[in-house]
Amino acid sequence: MAITGFNAYIFYIRTKVHFNSKKYNIIDNKIDKDKYIRPWNKKRADRDGLLFQSIEKYLPRNRMKFIRCFSYYYLQNPNFYLTDILESKFKLYKYNEFQFNCVKEVVISDFRYILYFADKNKRSLKDVFRNKKHLPAVFRLYEKKKISIFGLLVFEKMFNISEHINFEKLDFLEKEKYIFYVEKVFDKFEKIVHNGIFEIGIDWKDVIRNLYKG
């Protein structure tokens, strides 16, 4: 099958729709390729077809790899474009895929860092995941790249972080961040990587319990 860039184009559009729509789910909704052929032929093929071809040549013909690649760049910058991927030489994609493919080891490392952070700052583990007036410290650790986005997803499942935040007491910027985490990370992105984190036979409660005891 010829590499035209059309395959990458479909998933680029659909991934952005997935993140920006409250109802659309890229995992459950089937592809209607006919819907994309006309805009591709009319506008995109001539304008940036070569860019989409470059994406398609690099990524394996695997729908989830296309979706995850575009998702990583979306979470870094919702207004990302193909040049952001190509100019970075797929660095963000390669880094996140490496973490995704050894997620147990990555989450263990993330939790050990959280234990270290709590001990160093003389805080309880609960204080890392809870705060009555602000976003808890775990978000700051993620933003500083001390823990991975995959660790953040696991910790949300294990500790129900977002449910224990008092949204009304957050300032404007924190409210914006909270909405982004809840809607884009804990909902939209979680759906995309769910099977590779929560359906692979790892008992995350047991993993975290053993680390906390140790």
Q: Residue 31: pLDDT above 80? A: no
Q: Is the distance from CB of 185 to CB of 152 less than 8 angstroms? A: yes
Q: Residue 191: pLDDT above 70? A: yes
pLDDT of residue 61: 82
CATH of 102-213, one of 3.30.70.380, 1.10.220.50, 1.10.3430.10, 2.60.40.10: 1.10.220.50
pLDDT of residue 214: 59
> In which band, very low, low, confident or very high, does the pLDDT at 29 lie, cut at 50, 70 and 90?
confident
Q: How far apart are CA 189 and CA 19, in angstroms?
A: 8
- Residue 135 backbone class (left: φ over 0; alpha: ψ -120 to 50; beta: rest): beta
Spatial neighbors of 72 by CB under 8 A, at least 6 apart, are: 92, 93, 96
Q: Is the distance from CB of 53 to CB of 4 less than 8 angstroms? A: yes
> In which band, very low, low, confident or very high, does the pLDDT at 160 lie, cut at 50, 70 and 90?
very high
State pLDDT tens for residues 95-108.
999 999 999 999 99
Residues carrying CATH 1.10.220.50, the chain: 102-213
> In which band, very low, low, confident or very high, does the pLDDT at 30 lie, cut at 50, 70 and 90?
confident
Chain centroid to Cα 86, Å, comes to 19
Q: Which of 74, 136, 66 is nearest to 97 (CA)?
A: 66
Neighbours of 90 (CB within 10 A): 17
Dig out the tokens for 51 from the structure.
């860019």
125 or 2, greater pLDDT: 125
Dihedrals phi, psi of 206, to nearest 5 degrees: -65, -40
Distances (CA, A) of 117 to 26, 32, 143, 144, 164: 36, 48, 15, 13, 20
Q: Residue 131: pLDDT above 80? A: yes
pLDDT of residue 1: 61
Taking the complete model, does pTM exceed 0.85, yes or no? yes
Across 24-31, average pLDDT = 89
32 or 84, greater pLDDT: 84
DSSP assignment letter at 167: G
